[in-house]
Chain A
Amino acid sequence: GNSVTQMEGPVTLSEEAFLTINCTYTATGYPSLFWYVQYPGEGLQLLLKATKADDKGSNKGFEATYRKETTSFHLEKGSVQVSDSAVYFCALLVYGNNRLAFGKGNQVVVIP
């Protein structure tokens, strides 16, 4: 089946630090990959996406590269801000299947 695995546990880091959140996947077909962000008390917002191997999605200083050989889509940001504190979800969608498969999400807390 289709599934997404995110690293365990919350991530706490200082302002201006480098952020990496790992995401690996298994898929029965050729997936599109997404990162969603959820700010406190809100719904999910699409942060970035990639639809084919070696594509790089980017938005608001965040980047993720679709790595087919390692089945990964790790999220990175070079210098985080307090306003980046949120929950981040990795997700995939396989063509012909309308259902998103989500990872469990990672709480990111950025300390001033």
Chain B
Amino acid sequence: DVKVTQSSRYLVKRTGEKVFLECVQDMDHENMFWYRQDPGLGLRLIYFSYDVKMKEKGDIPEGYSVSREKKERFSLILESASTNQTSMYLCASSTGQGRSEQYFGPGTRLTVT
């Protein structure tokens, strides 16, 4: 089974802090994704990566950056956390072949106070 793990299930940070969310997948997938999920807004893509050191902006990249130094790991960085970044963050991965499905991690519930 594909396993996507995220470093924390719950996280509480203060405004202005630098926040790192880590995601690891164990299936040698080329593609990795970061989404945020908010009530009434569904899932929105923040960034994705199709190879090591490669990244592309999604629909809402402002206030976020990402890092992919190894194939299995994709990090989301909030340079200076703000209260409007309080959300559920979901990581996903998929193979680079055709129209393959994405596999999701359990999510990180981030609260910025």
Interface set of A (CB-CB < 8 Å, partner B): 31-32, 34, 36, 41-46, 49, 51, 89, 93-95, 98-100, 102-105
Contacts and interface: CB of A to CB of B under 8 A. Distances in A.
Contacts, number: 49
B28 to A, nearest CB: 16
B110 to A, nearest CB: 14
Given A42-B106, A43-B90, A43-B107, A34 B101 contact: yes
Contact of A104 (B42, B94, B102): B42
Interface residues of B, number: 24
Given A42-B107, A105-B42, A99 B48 contact: yes
Interface string B84-113: 000000101010101111111111000000
Contact of B99 (A42, A43, A44, A95): A95
Given A42-B107, A99-B58, A105-B42, 10 more contacts: A31-B99, A41-B107, A43-B4, A43-B105, A46-B102, A46-B103, A49-B101, A94-B99, A99-B45, A100-B102
B109 to A, nearest CB: 8
A32 B58 CA distance: 20
Contacts of B45: 99
A41 B37 CA distance: 12
Contacts of B104: 36, 43-45
